[in-house]
Amino acid sequence: MNIKVYSTPTCPYCKMAKQYLASKGFTYEDLDVSQDRGALEEMVRISGQMGVPVIVIDGEVVVGFDRARIDSLLPRNI
């Protein structure tokens, strides 16, 4: 399972999303778009969004901390 979280250090929803993934036992790649211009450009290209968080789970894009959508993309048993 490949999970990327495009975020910034000051975004409360980013923190909640990362805590949620960790609480479910999932690891993820955290990309700080405030420091990494390449990650920012990639996030905008795949999501069409400038806002964070953008979460990519096995190629499926989730904009914002949408718990129901995240749950629908995660396997039930890890």
Per-residue pLDDT tens over the stretch 32-74: 999 999 999 999 999 999 999 999 999 999 999 999 999 999 9
Provide CB contacts within 8 A for 37, sequence distance 6+.
none
Structural domains in the chain, sorted by start: 3-73 (3.40.30.10)
- In this predicted structure, what is the pLDDT of residue 48? 96
- In this predicted structure, what is the pLDDT of residue 21? 97
Q: What three-state secondary structure class fits 57? A: strand
Query: Where would I find the beta strands (DSSP E) of the chain?
Result: 3-7, 29-32, 54-57, 60-63
